[in-house]
Chains A and B, each alone.
Chain A
């Protein structure tokens, strides 16, 4: 930048030569302000989503830039919510980007006093082993009158009200096939 440009860019010069002699508006505008854009307009992609909190089902638009969630806000198209969100819905980006989020598997061994790290794959293998072992150990073929039960009472599950229908479907399907019946969720609470 030459001196001339520097001078021309100097707001005092703009005050003296432009329409804003008092330097309170146009003359005082900074380069940052000149270049300001809404990150919602420059997002790489927008996903149509639904708020994860209560059951009103407000529409959300999830703006993504550089593979990261840049903004989550209400979807004005939704006839349910008309673009509005409550404080929880409005905090959705904060939710998914919270520094407290767990992103690795944690393991507490029996009688342990601290978490340990575990590979995801290892954890899955261990869980599968335990499910089968427990199922085996607690299997009930029939009741005392000989009526079939075909189940285990050793494995229980709680949760699903915050999950997708597809997930609940697989959960119920798998547990039912395995004979686990104490499958419950918030609807009972």
Chain B
């Protein structure tokens, strides 16, 4: 078993003798109502500043993502897709092609001042957000909407679903942020979680590009990196993290990771039974690229739809080979210098 890759119980690996069972989050998006209690509870407990009063136009997501000032961030995805278990909500409604494509493009252009860096950037290419071409309306107001009646494809807005997910730090088994931290500010706790020690961090920023999930971020006025601590202080006192405690629908479940994984699998099985075939777990697998996440999810669509990487890998997996390559290059430098000076005339 490698310390850099594959299944691992991280706390003993990080030098804790007889640690408590590894703790984690299971975020079940199928019961998330998008209330954002998690965001607020987190901010209240951890004394996180507000990060700007910006309307983003991404459905009800005005947080925009995880930043140093938002350790939980609720995402909202409006989709003209079947939900798997419900009646088509708009069946029979006299509706037509949707303008959501346009909407998404506009939303994607919105940047946000989060008081952090890099914070939330506008999408580099907003058209990438568009699900489909903008519908062509003929601009003739009337009883029947333009483009509706002569719809050759018979495309009508019937199905619809609104996905919500509370994103959070994944507390990877193999955490790149922690691995690359030069000061030991980021460290593995006895609970197997990954925490920034605010008395140590010198704001070098290395953890930020190292994270395969784009979680950790730096607070501008403060200069240090911040992210979810899984409420390390509360855990130490035997308490539940603030977000999980607040969550009205138990979308965020906290507990021993092993037990959560079992519970999650049962939930997926149950959803499959009732026809929600698209339910799948994300980050639960100790065999994945980060050795499994301490905070994993039940999703109802592909991870990238939620802004999650579909197949993340801890960069440190390749570190040995990278050091090796660097060694070869370094040796090459010596050789070349030697050759340059030794050979030939002055």
Using a CB–CB distance below 8 Å, which chain A residues touch chain B?
11, 18-33, 36-41, 71-74, 76, 83-91, 93-94
Given known contacts A72-B44, A85-B41, A33 and B232 CB-to-CB distance under 8 angstroms: yes
Other than the known A20-B15, A84-B245, what 12 A-B pairs have Cβ atoms closer than 8 Å?
A24-B184, A28-B200, A29-B189, A30-B184, A32-B198, A33-B197, A36-B236, A38-B237, A40-B234, A76-B245, A84-B247, A85-B41
Select one of A11, A41, A84, A86 contacting B237, CB under 8 A. Answer: A41
Q: Is the CB of B15 within 8 A of A19?
A: yes
Q: Are A26 and B16 neighbours in the complex by a CB distance under 8 Å? A: yes
Select which of A19, A23, A73, A85 is within 8 A of B184 by beta carbon.
A23
Listed by A's residue number, 25 A-B pairs whose Cβ atoms lie within 8 Å are: A11-B184, A20-B15, A24-B15, A24-B179, A24-B187, A25-B10, A25-B11, A25-B15, A25-B189, A26-B14, A32-B200, A33-B189, A33-B199, A38-B237, A38-B239, A40-B237, A41-B239, A73-B246, A74-B245, A85-B248, A86-B248, A87-B35, A91-B40, A93-B44, A94-B40
Contacting A at CB under 8 A, from B161-193, are 178-179, 184-185, 187-190
A73 to B43, CA, bound (A): 12
Report B's interface with A, CB cutoff 8 A. Answer: 3, 10-11, 13-17, 35-37, 39-41, 44-45, 178-179, 184-185, 187-190, 195, 197-200, 231-234, 236-237, 239, 242, 245-248
Known: A24-B178, A84-B248. A38 touches B184 (CB 8 A): no
The answer to whether B245 and A73 touch across the interface, beta carbons within 8 angstroms, is yes
Whether the pair B37, A87 counts as a contact (CB closer than 8 A) is yes
Are B11 and A40 in touch, CB under 8 angstroms? no
Give the shortest distance, in Å, between B241 (CB) and chain A (any CB): 11
A33 to chain B, nearest CB (A): 5
Secondary structure dominating the interface of A = loop
**A23 CB → nearest B CB, Å:** 6
Most buried by B among A28, A39, A41, A72: A28
Partner of A73, one of B41, B188, B197, B200: B41
A20 to chain B minimum Cβ distance, whole angstroms, is: 3
The 6 closest A-B pairs by CB, nearest first: A25-B14, A20-B15, A28-B184, A26-B15, A38-B237, A19-B15
Give CA–CA (A26, B188) in the complex, Å.
7
Q: Which residues of B contact A93 (CB under 8 A)?
A: 44
In the bound complex, how far is the Cα of B231 from the Cα of A38, in angstroms? 9
Let me know if B44 and A94 touch, CB within 8 A: yes
Q: Do A89 and B37 touch (CB < 8 A)?
A: yes
Chain B residue numbers with a CB within 8 Å of A20 are 14-15
**Which residues of the other chain, A, contact B37 by a CB distance below 8 angstroms?**
84-87, 89-90
Closest B residue to A14 using CB positions: B15
**When chains A and B are docked, how far (Å) is the Cα of A83 from the Cα of B178?**
33
